Structure 1
C-alpha cells in the first residue's frame, strides 16, 4: 500500500521578509540581507519544522534611485554562496537558488550547482529563470533585455546544455584506484560537444556526477512560453495564483502538458506561492498585517507595482486613478502583468491601492488568520488538485517564518498532511522525485 500523499513546503527567504516595508518594522533586523547568522537561524527553524527546501531568489542588479532607496532590496548575498554556507549548518533541508539563463553561461551554472549538490550531500536545486529586471541588462553589455521569445529560446537550450553537462560522467566513472594508477574510466565519460543556436559547449564537466544524479530543476514562468518550458524540463514549478479556481486550472494545464510529453504527473510538483500572516485570532493576524501596511509609502508601493508589471515607470500617473492601459511587457514577466492587471480590474483599485495591495504578497494568494485558517486553505488547495505543496512567503523575518514553523506546521501534521520526520536525505527524496 502506497504512503498517503503529503504536502511539500518551501520557505521563500527574502532577507527582511516579503513585505516591501518589513525592514522598517521594529521586530525586523534592517541589515538582514548581509547577516549570515540571520540566515542560519532561518534555515535551522525551517529544517526543524521539516520543510522540504529553502528557496532564495536573485537579481544581478542593484535597485537604485529615490524609490529604491526606500526598499531593502539593494544589498544581499549571492544565493549560491549563501546556500553553500548554509549547507554546512544544516543536514536535511533542500537548498534551491535562482540563477538566470539570460546573464550566465551553462558551464558555470552546471559546475556551481553540481558542486553545491556534492557539498550538501544531495540537497541542491536550480531555479531556472529568464531575467526580467530591466537594470540587469546594463550590467552585461546590453541596453535592454532580449525579447521574451528569444529569452525563452535561450533558456530552453541553456537547460539542455546544463543537463547534458550534468550527465558527463557515469556514477562509477571515478574509480580512483591507487594500485593500478587509474583515476577514472575513460569509457564512462560522455563528451557533450554541443553546437546550438545560442551556445557551443564541448564538455565534459569537471565535477563528478552529483549525489542526486543532478540537482532538482525548478521554474517559475507561467506565461504560455513559460508553461511549455516547464512541462518539458521542470521538476518543480513555483507559480502565483490568486484563487482556488485559477490554481486548479493552472495545475490541470501543467500536468496535462507534461503528460502529453510522456512525463508522469508525479514527476512535476506544482507549488504556488502562499503569503501567510498568522495570529492567535483572525483579528490579531489582521492587526499584525496592518502594522506593515501602515509603513508602506504610496510611491514605494507604486514603484514596486511598476517593476512587477514589467519595468514600467508609473510615477507620472495620478495615484488616485485606476491602473493605466499598458502594452504587453517584452522585458518582464507577462504572466505577472496579466495577473496584476486582472486584480486591479476585479477589485476596482486605484494605482496607490494596487501598490499597497501587493506590498506583501506581490500578487500571490494570501491568508491572514489563525493557524487553523491557514491550514484550511492549504488543505483545500492540496486536496482540490490545485497544488502539490506551497512556497511559503511571510511578511517579515524571522518572526513570520517562526509563526509558520511553530503554529501552522503542527496543525498540518495533526491533520496528517505533512511529515513529522524526514524519510530521506536528499531533496529528490523529500519531493518524491526520481533520480535521473
Structure 2
C-alpha cells in the first residue's frame, strides 16, 4: 500500500510530502479501515516516525512518542485551528463554536477551569450513589433476560440516562443527543458519505437550546456552569456553549468505551474471570479496553510555526493527523500491546488524549464504567457473544452498533 495513490475526492490540501518521508496509500476514514485498523496501524508505525497520507496530502504520526509529543505541546500544535481535517484559518469554521476542545489558552484555560470544577472528584462523589443505584438496577434487568444487546440495552441506555440527569436536562428528546455527537465526531474527518449521512439527522437549533438556563433543572451540572457565568468566570454567552459541549462530547466516548469493554470481556473469558474474582479490577478493565480498542481513533493538530515532529520539518499551518489508537498499541511503549490484560498498568495511554486538552470528563466516564462492570461481575458467571457483532462507522470514533450477548448467572 506504499506509494502515491489516486487522490481522495474529499482531499482539501495540495501539499507535497517533505523530502524523504514515507508515502502511504491508506484511507483512515474508510469503512474498510475501521472494520480492521490494526494492520494499517502497524504499517504506519513501522514505516517511520512521520508518514505522508497521499490520498489527503497530510502528514501523520502513529508512534506513541510522537503522538504524545503533539498532544502535549499545545503552543506548537494548535487545537484552536480545528482538531479536524479543515483548518479554521484557511477554510473557516463550520462547526458550532467550541470553548474547550477547539480552543487554546487563554480561552481554553477559563473554560477548562469551570468544567474541571463542575466535574471535580467531590462533585462526582456526590453523584456516585445515584449512578450506582441506576447501574445496579439496569444490569439486574438485562442479565435476567439471559440474552440482551450490550450496546442498545446497556452501553447506550445507562450513560443516556444518568449523564443528562446529572446535567439537569429534561427526559424528553434525549435520543436526539446521539446523532448530534455522531455528527460532531464525523465532522473531524473529511466531508465524506459518513459525514453527510450524519448531517441529515440533526437540528443545530435543538442542540443549542439544550444549554440554555431555562431548559436546565436547578442543582445540576448545567446550572453550575451558568452559576460560574454569574460569578464572572465566563460570559453569559459562553455558558450555554459549554453545557452543549458537555452534552455533545460526554456521551459517545463513554458509550463506545463501555461497549468496547463488554466486547473485550466477552471475547477474553479469562479476563472476565479475573474481574469476577476481584471486583476492584473494574476500573482497570475499563481503562485497558480504552487502550486496547481506542474508541477515539484520531485527532488533528495544526502547526503554529516552523517546527519538527518525528524528525520531519513542518511549516506553519501544516495539518498533522495523530493516530491515538495506533499509539496505544505501539510495542515501543507497551509490552504485548495486542493482548487485553486487565492487570496492565495503563498509565500514560492516549485514549483520553493528553496534555491540557485531555478529555475533561474522563473521571466521569471512568466512574460510569466502573459501576456498570462491577454490577455485571456480581451477577454474571459467563459472558458470551451470541450473534453477529455490528460496527457503527464514524470518521473519528470506532464503536459497535450491536453486541448480542448471552449470560450465565452466577
TM-score, with normalisation over the residues of structure 2?
A: 0.23
TM-score, with normalisation over the residues of structure 1?
A: 0.22
- Greater helix share, structure number: 2
